Amino acid sequence: MSRTRISVLAAILLAMAAAAVMATQQRQEAFPHRRHEGLFPLCTGCHQPEAAERAARFPQPDLCARCHDGTQQRRVQWTLTPPPPDNLSFDHGEHFAATANEDTPVECRTCHVREPEPSMRVVRAEGALCVQCHAHQAQDHTLDADCATCHVPLAETALPTERIAALPRPADHERPGFILEAHGARAGSGTAACSVCHTRERCTSCHVNAASVAAIGEVPAAPARLQLPGFEAHYPEPASHDVAWFERTHGDVASAGECAACHTRESCTTCHVGLPNALLAALPARADGAAPGVTLERVAPITHAAPGFAADHGPLAAADGAACSQCHTANACADCHDAPARPVYHPADFTLRHSTAAYGGRLECSNCHDVRVFCQECHQKSGFQAVGRLGPGFHTAEPLWLLRHGGAARRGLESCTTCHTQRNCLQCHSTLGAFQVSPHGRDFDARRAQERNAAICRACHVGDPLRAGVREP
Amino acid sequence: MLAALPCAVTAQGVLGTATTTARYIELRPIVRDTVPLAEVTVDGSGRATWNGIPVVCPAGATECELFRAAGEEHAVALTQDVSFTAWGLGVRGLSATVQLRARANAGGGFVWPRTDDAFDAMLAYAELDRGLARVRIGRQRTLGGLGFSGYDGVSVRADPVPWLSVEGYGGRSLARGLSEPRNQVLQGLESFLPDRSAYLLGGSATFEPWRGGAVSARYQREIWSDRSALLTERASVEMRGDFARGVSVAAAADYDLAFGRFGKASATVRAPLGAERKLWLEASARHYVPYFELWTIWGFFNPVGFDEAEMRATWRPSPAVLVRGSAAWRRYGETDTEVVFSPLEDQATRWGAGMHWTAAPAWSVDGSYMLERGFGAALSSADVAVRWQAGARLAVTADGSAFQQVEEFRVGEGTVVGGGLGFEYAVRGRTSVEGGYNVYRQTFAGRPGLADWNQSRGWAALRVGFGRDPGRGRIP
């Protein structure tokens, strides 16, 4: 016999042996009720349905040996195998006892035989049978029945991960607003129902304040043997957040009890700076392994989205600076207003085209720049500085500029001062100047000004101008 | 200092930024020059050189004067900013805020303004906030309807009830827009500036009649340290209010007590239209008049201001598109000056339009156009920028601009086109690097301007954020 044939024969024998072992095991697991149909007219011939212990409800192996003794029938080996994991809470004896005196007491076939099959055509009981009595008027047994009547908490089961993930999802869980509006109230009135499908880990995956919520503490935690399916924290936005000015008013309605369900201190400090510790302490801090809490992005209030906010936020800030300081430190103002070194506020070519903004006052230069130090210094170095001569000079478009400049100067005086010094103007606008032209306007209150700063009057006037009389413009 | 400060105070709760910036600025100054009278031509708009540069020819002179563009100059400005606020210094409610700036001129013949001032402490104050009262001591600034006012001194704010806040402040006054006393930073630059420091005194009250609404009033004066004269004496009122349906109002006005006249004033109403708030309208009215301190002669020249009305709108037809537009009309006050030949234009208009389009999650385009015609200068400008978010860390921006500017009181006009590239790179955490370079070219279009606007700009910045708010994590 060739070596190949020996190998093939050995493989066949091995396969047959394996098949025999498997067949034996199958016989051990599933008792062939149908083959014994004629022998056992009553279930109680082998089973004790009222027994409290599961093992006692099944026949002992020596009962099989009465026939399967190797003489009458071949020997068999049958042992009670553990039941597949489930989350049921069912007491056979209790059910028998409770219905024993009723017209239709519960029998084995009530649940394990599908009518009109013979008694030995047994099947596993189905949950629908339970509901026929325990929730017979229910539209949905996951909603209208008392879960704990038939089920044990998930934490007490050994359900595999796939079965946990496939547990039926009650219809109300799908309703809009369930998480925000309903689930808390349901849990607050008792967590027994929740615990049938959930362990505490499901709560703590979202609730950042889980440790301080009594209802969450009532939900049993998953033992190590239970491999829970993965789920991510989910934080739907409450309707209360979608109102006008919520970013301004949330401080009034914020309460540690409500906010702390979803928000950690990081939610506050995303925007706020320097909040008092007493406020922050009301919320838990983000911690490794705990629920992440809502992740916020620092988004500017809608007032900041106004097209001209960058240029026009002054009145807002002036009227309510405290509101600004909720989110900004004092440095934030200086980032722009202290003439930053980076092109933050002005475009890169602003130097080339700033004339219109400066003349027109569209941007109020002096809010950030000192005209003398910043503007005049640059103009001087760029050749735009006035030389103090009474000629048209730089104003080349205006041959009679000297005669015409008054109106332009009154309107654009700030622009004038970016090139001209005070002494340039005093060549004419002074009692000591060439033409002694009064620069004062129609509504100039000389006495009022003199009372506040008489020294500057003497820049143009010799002596007391009010006593000497002021020339009209 | 950069290395030491953050490390020393991190554990106490610090939020701050250190920014190192280098800027390259290319400029073409103008210089006065002369040209023989014989070489001057006369056309409809006056005397000019053969190539159109306007000249001024004094009577009887054989030489005419002109301004021409000088040679190219450039400046390299280095700036180091460090700013932080530190909390939790061992005393409840105690914090410190500091903003420092060091500058240097790192090359080039042109000294960029302020780079010759090596160091400024712009803010340096300690604050004790106990809820009902807040005290600040050190270099600080007060912000209100009168603008920013810096001082070295003390401010005390009390909040006796939730709807009322009262503040008083005073100290050595600092020059407006600068962080040093006037007699130090402006000495030599201006006439009539006494060599003495000044004091600033002021107070404000903020009344909050409802959440989202506030009215504030402020009085402030500055006086020379020898009490010889006032520098400023002003008061202001500001209000803001948020109302139903997203309507908000902000208004402010100030009064110059020294001269007895109103200063700036503004009011803005903003409201969304439609249930989905895709369209926002904003209407504002503004009166502007420049303010000058009493130690200069400028305020005595009775500057006149203008009244301006402006409408702005933003429309977001889809999450990816934002369209904005604005229109403004301005009228200047009566100057009470003689009219020679022709009056000045006393009205001005400004039109603007723009759009932001997020073409794809990583791509966005922003374009805008503005036309401003009025007193002093006119501008027509268009800008466009394309931004590419190349991953989580890198963003690249290409921008372009074109503008035509006409200056009214001298022969100065130019059309300039330019563009450049910029980038931002988040190194890690709050550390980022950014930079860019832009080139601008003037198209003379047959008529040369006085100045040459062919220029370049470049910048690079390293920004390091350090520390974190003490509210994060464990509370002591």
pLDDT digits (tens, 9 = 90+) for B16-51: 889 999 999 998 888 888 889 888 888 766 788 877
Which residue in chain B is spatially nearest to A423 when comparing CA positions?
A: B191
pLDDT at A21 over 60: no
- pLDDT reported for residue B1: 38
Indicate yes or no: CB of A377 within 8 angstroms of CB of B58: no
> Which of A279, A280, A283, A320 to probe the B interface (max B CBs under 10 A)?
A320
Model confidence over A267-297: pLDDT tens digits? Answer: 888 888 767 666 777 788 888 788 888 888 7
Tens digit of each residue's pLDDT (9 = 90 or more) over A133-165? 777 667 777 777 788 888 889 999 999 999 999
Q: Distance from B238 to chain A by nearest Cα, in Å?
A: 5
Greater confidence (B311 vs A382) lies with B311
Specify the pLDDT at position B393.
Answer: 93
Across the range A405-431, mean pLDDT stands at 88
Judging contacts by C-beta atoms under 8 Å, the chain B residues touching residue A391 are: 56, 58
Interface test with A, best of B127, B136, B336 (most A CBs within 10 A): B336
| A266 contacts A293 by C-beta, under 8 angstroms | yes
Contact B229 A317 (CB under 8 A): no
How distant, in Å, are the alpha carbons of A48, A160, A344, A375, B286 from that of A163? 30, 5, 58, 76, 69
d(CA B397, CA B363): 10
Confidence tier at A20 by pLDDT (50, 70, 90): low
Name the residue among B419, B389, B388, B383 with its Cα closest to residue B403. B383
Give the distance between the most distant pair of CA atoms in chain B.
85
CA distance from start to end of chain A: 136
Report pLDDT digits (tens) over B172-220: 999 987 889 999 888 877 788 888 999 999 999 999 888 778 999 999 9
- Tell whether the model's pLDDT for residue A390 goes beyond 70: no
pLDDT tens-digit map of A228-269: 888 888 888 888 887 767 777 787 777 667 788 898 888 888
- Candidate from A89-103, B90-104, B110-124 with smallest mean pLDDT: A89-103
Compare A455 and B384 and report the one with higher pLDDT: B384
Asked if the model's pLDDT at residue A31 lies above 60, the reply is yes
Task: Tell me the average pLDDT of chain B.
Answer: 87
| A193-201: average pLDDT | 91
pLDDT confidence band for A53 (50 / 70 / 90): confident
Q: Number of A:B CB contacts under 8 A?
A: 441
Q: Which of A431, A453, A460, A466 to mutate: most B Cβ within 10 Å?
A: A453
Q: Which of residues 221 through 280 in chain A touch B, CB cutoff 8 A?
A: 244-245, 248-249, 252, 265-266, 268-269, 272-277, 280
Residue of B nearest to A329 (CA): B85
C-alpha dist (Å) from residue B143 to A58, A327, B187, B266: 87, 16, 26, 17
Average pLDDT over every residue of A399-411: 84
Question: Which residues 336-395 on chain A approach chain B with CB closer than 8 angstroms?
Answer: 337-343, 347-349, 351-353, 355-356, 358-362, 364, 366-370, 372-378, 381-384, 387, 391-395
Q: List CB contacts (< 8 A) between B326 and chain A.
A: 307-308
The structure tokens 């889980």 sit at A210
Which letter does DSSP use for residue B298 in this model? G
Q: Residue B464: which pLDDT band, with cuts at 50, 70 and 90?
A: very high
* In chain A, residues 411-450 whose CB comes closer than 8 Å to chain B: 411-415, 417, 421-423, 425-426, 429, 439-445, 448-449
Cβ proximity of B94 and B126 under 8 Å: yes
Helices vs. strands in chain B: H and E counts, helices first: 2, 26
Give the count of alpha carbons within 13 A of A18, CB side only: 6
Distance between CA B88 and CA B27 in Å, rounded? 48
The pLDDT of residue A340: 61
Tell me the nearest-neighbour CA distance from B100 into chain A, angstroms.
Answer: 10
Q: Which of A54-58, A189-193, B251-255, B469-473 is most confident?
A: B251-255
Query: Which pLDDT value is given to residue A339?
Result: 61
The count of other CB atoms within 10 Å of the CB of residue B132 is 10
Q: Give the highest mean pLDDT range of A118-132, A416-430, B449-463.
A: A416-430
Closest to A238 (Cα-Cα) out of A227, A250, A248: A250
Q: What is the mean pLDDT of residues A430-455?
A: 86
Say if residue B139's pLDDT is above 90.
Answer: yes
Percentage with pLDDT > 70 across chain A? 88
Q: Which residues of B are less than 8 Å from A243 in CB distance? A: none
- At A28 the pLDDT is 43
Q: How far apart (Å, rounded) are the C-alpha atoms in residues B406 and B376?
A: 9
The ipTM value here is 0.85
Query: Does residue A370 surpass a pLDDT of 50?
Result: yes
Residue A112 has pLDDT above 50, yes or no: yes
Distance CA A279, CA B116 (A): 46
**B417, B384 Cβ separation under 8 angstroms:** no
pLDDT tens, residue by residue, A298-356:
777 777 777 677 777 887 888 878 788 888 877 777 777 766 656 667 888 888 888 88
**Tokens 């505490």, residue located:** A200
Which tops the pLDDT comparison, A199 or B212? Answer: A199
Mean pLDDT computed over A431-437: 82
Helix and strand element counts for chain A (H, E): 29, 0
Judging contacts by C-beta atoms under 8 Å, the chain B residues touching residue A410 are: 301-304, 335-337
DSSP B180: S
- Distance of alpha carbon B176 from alpha carbon B120, whole angstroms: 14
**Residue A313 CB: number of other CB atoms within 10 A?**
16
Q: Which of B129, B192, B214 sits opposite A422 (nearest CB)?
A: B192
The reported pLDDT for the residue numbered B82 is: 92
Pick from A245, A274, A321: which is nearest to B242 by CB?
Answer: A245
Q: Do B25 and A351 touch (CB under 8 A)?
A: yes
B88-98 pLDDT, tens digit per residue, is 777 778 889 99
According to DSSP, residue B87 is labeled: E
Among candidates B56, B99, B457 on the partner chain, residue whose Cβ is nearest the Cβ of A348: B457
- pLDDT at position B11, please? 35
Q: What is the dihedral sign for C-alpha A427, A431, A437, A438?
A: positive
Taking residues A360-387, what's their average pLDDT? 81
Whether B70 sits inside 8 A of A383 (CB atoms) is: yes
Residues 6+ apart with CB under 8 A from A461: A430, A431, A468
A19 pLDDT band, cuts 50/70/90, is: low
Q: Tell me the nearest-neighbour CA distance from A194 into chain B, angstroms.
A: 32
Question: In chain A, which residues have their Cβ closer than 8 Å to the Cβ of B84?
Answer: 331
Q: Which two tokens stand for residue A61?
A: 């192996």
A1 or B393, higher pLDDT: B393
Please indicate if any CB of chain B lies within 8 Å of the CB of A292: no
pTM (2 d.p.): 0.75
Backbone angles phi, psi at A101, to 5 degrees: -95, 5
Beta bridge mates, B152? B139, B172
pLDDT at B236: 96
